[in-house]
Amino acid sequence: MKLEKCSNCGLCKSICPVFKVLLEETNSARGRANLIKKEVLDEVYYVCSLCGACKINCPAGIDLPEEIKKMREKMVEIKAETNANKKMIKNIREHGNPFGKVEEGKIPKDLYCC
């Protein structure tokens, strides 16, 4: 695994657009890399936009977006569902759409997608 080369320098964290908005270590490129090293399956992999900024900035040349895709694949293989997916499925079954009960002319409060 290439992540063994990671020195936790944080250059990927400082460039991560998701971290810049959410300001949580687990939602940074470095935070996700540390979870992958521990083989933790978590919804946080779906928060990543796969923009590749971390890959470009990484002095060790780690392709973190590719590693995140692999973790997403593992989650699919074991049929792990995210909370967003559970809510979408429930809304589709109950209301025929992923948004739930929608009043005409109003925008749904939470939008869930793929």
* Separation between Cα atoms, residue 44 and residue 23, nearest integer Å: 13
Is position 99 within any domain?
Answer: no
Placement of tokens 């990671």 in the chain: 6
Is position 52 within any domain?
Answer: yes
Confidence of residue 111 (pLDDT cuts 50, 70, 90): low
pLDDT in tens, 14-32: 999 999 999 999 889 999 9
Is position 107 within any domain?
Answer: no
Give the domain extent around 6: 2-77
Is position 114 within any domain?
Answer: no
pLDDT in tens, 43-101: 888 889 999 999 999 999 999 999 999 999 998 888 887 888 888 888 889 988 887 88
| The pLDDT of residue 110 is above 70 | no
Q: What is the largest CA-CA distance in the chain?
A: 53
Is position 98 within any domain?
Answer: no
Torsion (CA) 70, 30, 41, 36 in degrees, nearest 10: 60
CB 95, CB 49: distance < 8 Å = no
CATH number where 26 lies: 1.10.1060.10
Is position 21 within any domain?
Answer: yes
Question: Which H or E run contains 43?
Answer: none
Is position 64 within any domain?
Answer: yes
**Confidence at residue 53, expressed as pLDDT on a 0 to 100 scale:** 95
| The pLDDT of residue 113 is above 70 | no
Is position 108 within any domain?
Answer: no
The torsion region of residue 28 among left (phi > 0), alpha (psi -120 to 50) and beta comes to beta
